[in-house]
């Protein structure tokens, strides 16, 4: 007795019968099978090629298949599968000129991204971010200081407790200084002017931000005298030498949009006169109708500080603040070096305003203002005409009131910058 046929077998026989040649039907061609060409199997290929089911050429250290596909070849057991190659995932960024090549590390690139996203450049200068980065890629000394200022800005924004520069900042500042010194020793080209001025600006900011100690008792002017005292002010003099070389106010300058701000900082007319200065300060600084910068070493300093005193931080610009140091003359700097009590008072009055407006001055303003107040009380305890005007400490309320009572009727808060977090 024969076994019944299954349905698949029956369908196969029917289809074969329908394909039989008949008088009215054409012969149906049976497709020919394609024979696979003999080949050598890859038994030692990488795992990526096995996962992708392609033949590996077994080239070391990376096969051609992985290179073309953009993944890291993985012959070893500990290597990940199908990991994107670093050069495709993270393109190289290089800053180079004719003598120096700087290839940025991953940490460098992170700070370069932060330089843009955190708005560091906007707080410093009114220039186009893209143009500054293009110059940095062509001038390694500028790239070094851009990385340093980005790290410094992150430190000031992200730490509630003040701390000194990181090793990353110190390294890039030292590299910048070395390359800049070498650059300035060579003949300068027209295209060197903008990167030179940008670099000197950023180095000046870094120098201003760095102080010898975070403790007022160990900071200037209380600390012992040494050659580093007021070095940040000397840096401003060197910066002006670069100004003359770079001419930032020329028509095709990267800084052409800052002409008004620079004029206010360096060359704008001062609002002078005894009626422009609070009476208590005018008496202390011996300001009279006949006073001038040639006859009175306090003249320029007091006339740049006085317009700041009755204004809130929101009413002050970067140029308003920086004009005090930009216009500071050598006789007044000599008085600061000598720790003259009136000069120290003027500096402390400026500090309380500067720390509220300019972020890179905030730490110096906080520490050195307190140090100045302590110094004056310790070594000039009999100068009540000065102690009454100090912007911090137990004498503040009466002294500040006396300073403004006949000059500015509105009440002012001097210590706002001292309590502003970094």
Give the span between the Cα atoms of 215 and 207, in whole angstroms: 18
Q: How many CA atoms lie within 13 A of 307 on its CB side?
A: 18
Q: What is the pLDDT of residue 273?
A: 67
Compute the chain's Rg from CA coordinates. 36
* Closest to 265 (Cα-Cα) out of 292, 241, 236: 236
Distance CA 94, CA 158 (A): 28
Q: How many CB atoms lie within 10 A of CB 377?
A: 16
Domain coordinates in residue numbering, the chain: 43-88, 92-210, 264-393
Q: Are 121 and 129 in contact (CB under 8 A)?
A: yes
As given in the structure block, the two tokens for residue 420 are 């502003």
Q: Which of 27-41, 367-381, 383-397 has the lowest mean pLDDT?
A: 27-41
Topology of the domain comprising 43-88? CD2-Gal4 (4.10.240)
Report helix, strand or coil for 386: helix
84: which strand partners? Answer: 71
C-alpha dihedral (337, 338, 342, 344), degrees to nearest 10: 40
Q: Are 222 and 375 in contact (CB under 8 A)?
A: yes
Q: How far apart are CA 345 and CA 375, in angstroms?
A: 11
**pTM (2 decimals)?**
0.72
**Band (338; pLDDT cuts 50, 70, 90):** very high
Contacts by 286-294, CB closer than 8 A, 24 or more apart: 293/329
Q: What is the pLDDT of residues 61-119, one digit of tens each?
A: 788 888 877 778 888 777 778 776 654 455 678 898 888 999 999 899 999 999 988 89
Length of the chain: 422
Q: Give the confidence band of 400 by pLDDT, cuts at 50, 70, 90.
A: very low
**Which token pair is 18?**
């329908």
The tokens for 256 are: 């052409």
* pLDDT per residue as tens digits for the range 356-374: 999 999 999 999 999 999 9
Q: How buried is 403 (Cβ within 10 angstroms: 0-12 exposed, 13-18 middle, 19+ buried)?
A: buried
Q: Decide: residue 243, CB within 10 A, 0-12 exposed, 13-18 middle, 19+ buried.
A: middle
Q: How far apart are CA 385 and CA 278, in angstroms?
A: 13
């Amino acid at each position: 007795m024969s076994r019944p046929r299954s349905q698949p077998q029956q369908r196969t026989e029917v289809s074969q019968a329908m394909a039989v040649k008949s008088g009215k039907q054409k012969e149906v061609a049976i497709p020919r099978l394609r024979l696979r060409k003999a080949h050598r199997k890859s038994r030692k290929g990488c795992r990526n090629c096995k996962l992708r089911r392609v033949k590996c050429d077994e080239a070391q250290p990376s096969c051609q298949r992985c290179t073309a596909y953009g993944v890291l070849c993985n012959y070893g057991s500990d290597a990940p599968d199908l990991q994107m190659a670093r050069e495709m995932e993270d393109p190289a960024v290089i800053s180079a000129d004719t003598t120096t090549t700087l290839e940025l590390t991953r940490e460098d690139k992170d700070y370069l991204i932060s330089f843009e996203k955190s708005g560091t450049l906007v707080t410093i200068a009114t220039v186009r971010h893209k143009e500054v980065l293009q110059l940095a890629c062509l001038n390694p000394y500028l790239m070094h200081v851009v990385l340093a200022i980005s790290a410094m800005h992150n430190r000031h924004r992200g730490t509630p407790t003040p701390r000194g520069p990181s090793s990353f900042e110190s390294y890039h500042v030292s590299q910048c200084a070395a390359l800049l010194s070498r650059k300035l020793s060579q003949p300068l080209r027209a295209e060197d002017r903008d990167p030179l001025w940008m670099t000197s600006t950023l180095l000046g900011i870094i120098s201003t931000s760095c102080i010898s100690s975070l403790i007022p008792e160990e900071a200037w002017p209380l600390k012992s005298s040494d050659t580093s005292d007021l070095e940040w002010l000397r840096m401003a003099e060197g910066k002006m030498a670069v100004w003359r070389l770079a001419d930032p106010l020329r028509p095709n300058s990267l800084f052409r949009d800052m002409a008004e701000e620079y004029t206010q900082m360096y060359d704008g007319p001062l609002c002078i006169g005894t009626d422009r200065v609070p009476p208590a300060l005018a008496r202390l600084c011996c300001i009279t109708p006949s006073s001038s910068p040639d006859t009175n070493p306090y003249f320029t300093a007091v006339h740049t500080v006085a317009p700041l005193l009755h204004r809130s931080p929101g009413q002050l610009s970067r140029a308003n603040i920086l004009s005090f140091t930009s216009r500071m003359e050598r006789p007044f700097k000599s008085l600061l070096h000598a720790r003259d009590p009136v000069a120290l008072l003027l500096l402390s009055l400026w500090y309380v305003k500067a720390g509220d407006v300019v972020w890179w001055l905030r730490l110096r303003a906080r520490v050195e203002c307190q140090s100045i107040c302590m110094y004056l009380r310790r070594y000039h305890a009999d100068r009540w005409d000065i102690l009454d005007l100090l912007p911090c400490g137990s004498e503040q309320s009466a002294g500040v009131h006396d300073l403004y009572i006949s000059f500015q009727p509105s009440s002012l808060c001097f210590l706002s910058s001292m309590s502003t977090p970094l």
